[in-house]
């Protein structure tokens, strides 16, 4: 009797460990064909939201969404323009290269009601 139970346990274990890998989406690098540094990710229900650093670029701090951590779609930006000044507009021979927003951090508040919760996006600007 114990051999039958062992065989049943072994079969169930193999199936449990193997099946998720057979149906999982295969990821290949790079996941995103873009410069996406300093990422911050938050999970909301079955979806994931990610923000990234854009430094001196506008629109700034892209917000992306994924349901599988492999396929990402840009759903918006934290801001349209960081500042309406000559360096930000690349006017009069000035630039902001190496300055701007850095290392954003996205978080969800009001976790009791995730569909109507507020998102907080913190970022450091130089």
pLDDT of residue 90: 84
121/119 Cα distance (integer angstroms): 6
> 3-state SS of 96-114?
CCCCCEEEEEEEECCHHHH
Provide mean pLDDT across the span 65-86: 88
Provide mean pLDDT across the span 48-55: 88
pLDDT of residue 34: 82
Q: Which of 51-55, 86-90, 112-116 has the lowest mean pLDDT?
A: 112-116
pLDDT of residue 110: 66
From the number of C-beta atoms within 10 Å of its C-beta (0-12, 13-18, 19+), residue 52 rates as: buried
Q: HSE of 26 in the Cβ direction (CA atoms, 13 Å)?
A: 2
Instruction: Specify the residue for token string 């994931």.
Output: 48
Provide mean pLDDT across the span 10-39: 75
Cβ neighbours of residue 11 closer than 8 Å, sequence gap 6 or more: none
| Selection from 60, 63, 69 nearest residue 51 by Cα | 63
The pTM for the full model equals 0.67
Q: Which of 23-27, 69-73, 94-98 has the lowest mean pLDDT?
A: 23-27
Provide mean pLDDT across the span 96-101: 80
Per-residue pLDDT of 3-23, as tens digits, reads: 877 777 777 777 777 766 665
Provide mean pLDDT across the span 90-99: 86
Q: What is the dihedral of CA 16, 17, 22, 24, to 10 degrees?
A: 100
């Amino acid at each position: 009797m114990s051999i039958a139970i062992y065989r049943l346990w072994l079969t169930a274990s193999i199936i449990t460990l193997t099946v998720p890998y057979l149906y999982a989406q295969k990821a290949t690098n790079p996941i995103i064909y873009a410069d996406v540094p300093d990422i911050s990710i938050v999970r909301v229900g079955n979806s994931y939201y990610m923000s990234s650093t854009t430094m001196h670029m506008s629109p700034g701090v892209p917000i992306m969404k994924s349901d599988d951590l492999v396929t990402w779609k840009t759903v918006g930006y934290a801001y349209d323009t960081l500042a309406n000044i000559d360096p930000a507009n690349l006017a009069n021979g000035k630039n902001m290269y190496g300055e701007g927003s850095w290392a954003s951090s996205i978080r969800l508040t009001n976790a009791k009601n995730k569909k109507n919760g507020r998102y907080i996006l913190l970022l450091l600007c130089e």
